[in-house]
Amino acid sequence: MQLILIVLLPFLGSLCAAFLPSNARNAEAWLAGLVSIACFSLAISLFPQIAAGEVVRVIVPWLPQFGLNFYLRLDGFSWLFAQLITGMGALVVFYARYYMSPADPVPRFFSFLLAFMGAMVGMVLSGNLIQMVVFWELTSLTSFMLIAYWYHRADARRGARMASTITVAGGLCLLAGVVIIGKVAGSYDLDQVLASGDAIRAHEWYPAALILVALGALTKSAQFPFHFWLPHAMAAPTPVSAFLHSATMVKAGVFLLARLWPVLAGTDLWFAVIGGAGLCSLLIGAFAAVFQRDMKGVLAYSTISHLGLITLLLGMNSPLALVAAVFHMMNHATFKASLFMAAGVVDHETGTRDLQRLSGLARSMPITATLATVAAASMAGVPLLNGFLSKEMFFAETIFAGHSPWLRIGLPAAATLAGMFSVAYSLRFVHQVFFGPPPSPDLPRAPHEPTRWMLAPSALLVLACLLVGIMPAQTIGIFLETAARSILGVNMPTFSLAIWHGFNQPLIMSILALGGGVVFYLVLYNQRRRAHGAAPLIDRFDGRRTFDVVIVKLIRTADRIQRLLYSRHLQVQLVIIVCVAVGAGWVALHESFTFWGEVPPSRIDPAFALMWFVGAVCAIGAALQAKYHRLAALIMVGGTGLITCLTFAWFSAPDLALTQIAVEVVTLVLILLGLRWLPRRIEIDDPDRRSLRARVRRARDLVIAVIVGTGMASLAFAIMTRPRVPGLSEFFIDRSLPQGGGSNVVNVILVDFRGFDTFGEITVVGIVALTVFALLRRFRPATESIDVPRAQQHDAPRSLQELPDPNEDLPRGYLEIPAVIVRLLLPMAGLVSVFFLLRGHNSPGGGFVGGLVMATAVIAQYMVAGTMWVESRTRIHPQYWIAAGLLASAAAGMGAWLASQTFLSALAWHFTLPLIGEVHVSSVLLFDIGVYMLVIGATVLMLVAVAHQSLRSHRRPVAVAAATQVHVAEAAASPGATH
């Protein structure tokens, strides 16, 4: 229970914090402080059990199918870290209360700080590897928010992005790594993973797992070669740096390495990867730290080097080294956090962190100076401070770690060198800031001691350094013991936390390091403090620049590749699609394709052949003419359609013939109406036609066209020379009359057997009509086609004299005779259409054809009499027709429910009415009526919507309204006019 609270409280706290008013600094601080102290004491309360060697567990199944459970597991090591995180958290909150300026929107700060704390605690308490990764990534994300807290600053944004990018990438690698480990170990459960260390080290996937996990850990702990993000993360507010970049987040990596130490460590690969990275970071960090200008820069690089020290210890494959590593994790956290706080104080009180400008602050701020000095001494490894102890252990380990002679010499030497550097930068940090000549007057603020409370946290930490440094065994011993034991278990070494181990090699090394460091610093100092923020030698390896370059290159390359893989040109897309389809067909066919079926082709009827000769000529002609002679092309396509329709009739498909012809007419009218809005194009004024590229493109398309054509032809032929496959048709022919109640099988299929298709099909028509209308409301004709069509311009004056007046019966002039005919046509057409509708069930026809006939008649009225004339007489509501049609057919479908039949089942009622007599009503008829209405509505809506465009196009600014209106009608009256 306590465990869940420890993890949960911070998140709840962060939620509350987010909703506090933005100026509630104290409330926020109290909230955050209380939460962290609560977690701290909760953890303390659990210590007795931990000390007894127990492991406290809470398991809640989350996704058990994939071995992912919410599993909190508290043992000595995680307990120590939980303490570190929550305790340090409390101090940082306390410090931040005074550090953050009243202007800052603190809710965001504290809310994210608490969220981070929760994520961190969750990470260290995770007993399930996947859950650990979850919290791991959460720490990366929250740290992004914290680093970028002052997001108006470019460096903050960039630093945050760099940090998160690298750490998240590491996290993804970690995910892959732990999945592999989990698979090998058979579970993500930490206990089982720790148990199956040998199996994992023996497995062929071990190297991969090790590398991936290492990538995760090294990125997080800012280890070489990923160390460069840490210095740039210093753009964060100092409390954040103190918390994340000294005590907690950067420790996550080494925590993980220690956690998985029993599983992964013990091989040469481990030593090479982990130890190598650690050594590099140790030296590079320490060396670079010496030359920083920014106080926080110094601390950042020293953090890198100290974490390198820890990593190196972990990489040494020796239990004692592990103990030392754990010990140093704690020590580093204490002195580094307090140093960050000191740096923050200086920054806060003087307004700068520049070592060049600062000096002699000890006079004005003695307490800060004292605290900083002690902490720095601990960092340098001065005796009687905790830093000294772990450093001694480290030196001792380096001596025994090496196997090869090189390492025997090299490792201790490197360690000592690093020690010298650390002494140097610690010295510089203190000396340049607090001692030397009095502070220059040009500091942004006059330096003075901050409020006591701001120093308290740092003071506490320094106190800890002293206590641990002077009497380690009594203070830290027991905790370190339990922590190390929980990792090492049975092979736990015996170690003594004494200050004085006698005059041995490690002590000599320490003395060397101290002495050398002082000398090194003095040398530098006497060269006129020529530390200019850029370390020699390693200066040119700028990680940040590399990172930026990589990112930019990545995006550039992606862009370049995309240009190759992507085209926004429709033609290219279509070519690809067609080719892919052909290819797919070919792949499927080429193995077994027998062109000739069993059935011999029937005798060729010359008439039919001739007919299709014409058809082919039309098709090809259309293909050639469509660009420059649209009308011609349109007519030829119409011709092809006509021949198609004849073909249907020829091969005993009267319904198809009928529908095809009706559709032909309507489509033709539609396109004619549309033609006038297309730009003129004359063969001569087309430059690119002759260009080579155009020729090539045409050749390519020709080839494709020929291939596809032959392909389809041969497929069709192959099918036609095969026998008819028995299946559906027998059934339909059998039942059409007895059960379908109609002798026209096709129509029965449409309205009954497969009525659902028709149901969907009419919906499509309806939708399209609505879309057309919706789109044309926003229609904007191109400027040059606004004028009266060229075909009419020559007789424009005449037409202007004889304007059809909406109120007279007949339009005068050359449209008079057609008008009469068309008007007579209307009732006829109505009759015909109803006739088709009714007879459809037994002989060719049906609602669809009927509807089209009616619609054609209506649009004919528009064409001759003109829009104004028609609409001044009738009020057509196409969309009501559409709605009614859909509803009618739906009703026909649902009617079946009343008879507890399934949707669209055919029902028939017989009853006798007075006068009329025997009446036979069928739900099928209702359905067909629905189709009929919808088709009328949709078609008229589309045609009229297109026709109306000519009305709006003529609104010339100068024209008088009345004149325009009438002129408009005239224009609409001849939509067929094109160039």
Contact pick of 355, 455, 904, 933 for another protein (by CB under 8 A): 904
Contact status: 946 vs another protein (CB under 8 A): yes
Minimum CB distance to another protein, residue 960 (Å)? 15
Window contacting another protein (CB under 8 A); options: 257-265, 455-463, 831-839, 944-952: 944-952
> Tokens standing for 677?
């809005």
Whether 725 and 848 have beta carbons less than 8 Å apart is answered as: no
Local structure of residue 60 (DSSP, 8 states)? E
Query: Judged by CB under 8 A, does residue 671 bind another protein?
Result: yes
d(CA 206, CA 144): 32
**Closest approach of another protein to the CB of residue 837, in Å:** 15
CB 947 within 8 A of CB 964: no
Closest CB to another protein among residues 26, 571: 571
Candidates 276-284, 476-484, 618-626, 823-831 — which segment interacts with another protein by CB under 8 A? 618-626
d(CA 271, CA 261): 11
Under rule CB under 8 A, which residues in 780-839 are in contact with another protein?
Answer: 780-783
Find the shortest distance in angstroms from Cβ 186 to another protein: 10
In the bound state with another protein, the residue whose beta carbon lies nearer, of 511 and 649, is 649
Binding mask 285-324 for another protein (x = CB under 8 A): ----------------------------------------
Q: Closer to another protein by CB, 440 or 729: give it.
A: 729
How many Cα atoms occupy the beta-carbon half-sphere of 40 within 13 Å? 15
Angle at 81 between CA 79 and CA 87, to 5 degrees: 100
Q: Are strands 68-74 and 56-63 parallel, antiparallel or unpaired?
A: antiparallel
Residues 736-765 contacting another protein, CB under 8 A: 736-737, 743-746, 749-750, 752-758, 760-765
Pairwise CA distance, residues 365 & 946, whole Å: 85
Who contacts 293 (Cβ-Cβ below 8 Å, separation ≥6)? Answer: 354, 355, 356, 531, 532, 533
Of 126 and 368, CB closest to another protein: 126
- Residue from 34, 459, 470, 718 binding another protein (CB under 8 A): 718
Token output for 967 = 């002129």
For the CB of residue 963, give the shortest distance to another protein in the complex, in Å: 14
How many CB atoms neighbour CB 324 within 10 A?
A: 28
- Taking the mean position of all CA atoms in its chain, how far away is CA 549? 23
Indicate whether 24 belongs to the interface with another protein (CB under 8 A). Answer: no
- Asked if 776 is part of the footprint of another protein (rule: CB under 8 A), the reply reads yes
- Where in 549-608 is the site for another protein (CB under 8 A)? 551, 554-555, 558-559, 561-562, 565-578, 580-581, 584-585, 587-594, 597-599, 601-605, 608
Shortest reach from residue 786's CB to another protein, in Å = 9
Comparing CB distances to another protein, the nearer of 623 and 800 is 623
Q: Work out which of 72, 106, 147, 179 binds another protein, going by CB under 8 A.
A: 179
Q: Do residues 250 and 301 touch, judged by C-beta distance below 8 A?
A: no
* Binding to another protein in span 116-135, by CB under 8 A: 130, 133-135
Among 292, 867, 922, 974, binds another protein (CB under 8 A): 867
Instruction: Give the separation between CA 13 and CA 35, rounded to whole angstroms.
Output: 7
- Name residue 655's amino acid: D
Return the number of other C-beta atoms located less than 10 Å from residue 635's C-beta.
15
| In the complex, least distance from residue 820 CB atom to another protein, rounded to whole angstroms | 24
Tokens of 746: 């096709």
Contact status: 973 vs another protein (CB under 8 A): no
Dist CA 185 CA 203 (whole Å):
10
Map the footprint of another protein across residues 692-711, applying CB under 8 A.
693, 701-702, 704-706, 708-710
773 binds another protein (CB under 8 A): yes
- Of 172 and 443, which has the nearer Cβ to another protein? 172
| One of 26, 45, 53, 61 touching another protein (CB under 8 A) | 61
| Long-range contacts from 565-572, C-beta under 8 angstroms, 24+ separation | 571/697
State which of residues 10, 13, 67, 319 lies at the interface with another protein (CB under 8 A): 67
Site for another protein (CB under 8 A): which residue of 202, 409, 623, 817?
623
For residue 57, the SS3 value is strand
Q: Which residues contact 441 (CB under 8 A, 6 or more apart)?
A: none
Q: Determine whether 754 is exposed, middle or buried from the number of CB atoms within 10 Å of its CB (0-12, 13-18, 19+).
A: middle
